Amino acid sequence: MTQTSDTRVLFNDQCPVCSFEINHYAAYARREGLAVQFDDLNGPKRAAWGIDADTAAQRLYVLRDGELTSGIPAFLVLWREMPRYRWLARIVGLPGIRQAACALYDHMLAPLIYRWHLRRKARGTSPAG
């Protein structure tokens, strides 16, 4: 994706967990006039990311100043861009806490949410269902 000074977030808006959290951040960013863009991986903007839909559905991705991050590091980038959440980025970014958060996200939360996504997709369940 082209380098930009803005922060861009790629997320799954069809996932109830993802959409609830990220749409909250998007509303906050709009209210505050923050330079953060939110791209639904199910829409046309995903192609510009160079990430296939299945890979994108497995975790959160954030692009900031040409650097692509995913998982907890991506959340840290996003939270640092949002004054209300900088305290959270400072805490989760601390040594030890960061490693534990990454392990929890990478080995439990993200796989669980992804499997839930695959089951909903196989059943043809709507995001609200």
Residue 14 has φ and ψ, to the nearest 5°, of -90, -5
- Residue 33 is predicted with a pLDDT of 95
- Helices 72-80 and 97-104, interaxial angle, to 10°? 120
Query: Low-confidence residues of the chain, pLDDT below 70?
Result: 1-5, 125-129
Quote the mean pLDDT of the chain.
92
Q: Yes or no: say if 42 and 12 are a contact pair by the CB < 8 Å rule.
A: yes
Chain centroid to CA 34: 16
SS3 content of the chain, % helix, strand, coil (to 5): 55, 15, 30
> Whole-prediction pTM value?
0.89
pLDDT in tens, 68-93: 999 999 999 999 999 999 999 999 99
Q: What is the pLDDT of residue 121?
A: 86
